[in-house]
Structure 1
Amino acid sequence: MSCHITTAICPGSFDPVTLGHLDIISRASKIFSRIIVAVPVNPDKRYSFTVEERIDMLSKVTKAAGLFNVECDRVEGLLADYAREKGAAVVVKGLRALTDFEYEFQQALTNKKLNPSLETIFLSTSAEHMFLSSSMVKQVAGFGGDISHFVPGCILDTISERLCSRR
């Protein structure tokens, strides 16, 4: 069995970053020598935070967590092409439920067809984060709920200022 330095990409919208995202990124950083957290530019989708804001939040979160082999970047175009450009061999995706798997499996097969050297691995979400999604954080925040148990503390104020309703 050979072992070599491997770059992996953790792609996602991260709108906003949750503790579930941080869990997957952190665990991936222990497996691979270099992690690129990739935020896609998708003009067809409506986000609460800009690409630059999401990258900034991810950088703060990963730095605060001591993940020094993690970098954050934007992706314009296809992930398969981006991976080739960055020399990445692996895409890491977190799975919460069977419904996540169906979509992610389709994406993995598409990426493999576009870039045959690119592998996808799936990490199951830790039990304490299985219910957590960016959409759920936005919904709770929108109704003025406490999101401090769902997002990293170092970006809580940034997220709250944008998402929490002013009642």
Structure 2
Amino acid sequence: MRKLNLQHILCALFLLAAASGCMRPDAIAFHGVSDVDFVLSGSPTVTLVADVENSSAHNLTVRDAMFSLCRPNGDRIGRVMLTEAVTLPRKSRTDLTVPMRVTLDNMLSGLALLANPGEIDRLYVSGEATVKAGCLKRRISIDRMPLSAFLKRVGVDPDTLKEMLP
């Protein structure tokens, strides 16, 4: 089993945030991440493959998404950006491939976070994404939401995140 690092966590947060808030909360279910591929040459990219279920009657498309993980003083630790639109077919369960670019603004901040999991309680998430379901399109924005509240909103227990850190 692979050990999760900060980039894995940022990718999972991105996927959860981008798909939440568009439909009824139980329409989208995340059943896990089956693969994470890193390409470090040129522009660093991450491709996340997640087992996702869409029980709604509409295709769900996420595009133009970018989320940042920041410290309380406003210092950005890193961000995740979708590199191309992602579509989850209606009434299906599938392995969804999510191509992203992950950047760590300050490598020392990232390492300090890994060394002190208690710091997670003080972090916050900001960002936005365009989500389309059927003929409706919505811009989802998050501004300085505490990471713990963000995780709870998308159905993840903050203590689980702390356990994933080394």
TM-score scaled by structure 1? 0.32
Query: Which of 1 and 2 has higher RCO (CA within 8 Å, sep 6+)?
Result: 1
Q: Give 1 or 2: higher helix fraction.
A: 1
Q: Give 1 or 2: higher strand fraction.
A: 2
